Amino acid sequence: MSSIDEKIEAFLKANPKTIYSLKTIAYKVGEKRRKVFFHLNKNKNIRKCKPFEVGCYKHNLKIFTM
């Protein structure tokens, strides 16, 4: 596991029930959004949330949680 994966998991484990956007995660971790998005999709412990979980009815949002 790379250090980016470890940073992302540590950030999300701090508040396991909270849903974060891709932009927020990338800012807190200190990496580019494209690189963080790649690692978020490959990680088995992190799931992509459905938009209605945050009160939005769009088809696709880049929001994640543990």
**What pLDDT score does 35 carry?**
95
**8 A C-beta contact, residue 33 and residue 16:** no
pLDDT in tens, the chain (66 residues): 579 999 999 999 998 889 999 999 999 999 999 999 999 999 999 999 999 999 998 898 999 998
Question: What range does the domain containing 41 cover?
Answer: 3-65
Q: Could you give the number of structural domains in the chain?
A: 1
Q: What is the CATH number of the domain that holds 41?
A: 1.10.10
The DSSP annotation for the chain comes to --HHHHHHHHHHHHSTT--EEHHHHHHHHTS-HHHHHHHHHH-SS-EEPPGGGGT---S---EEE-
The two three-digit tokens of residue 30, written as one number: 């200190």
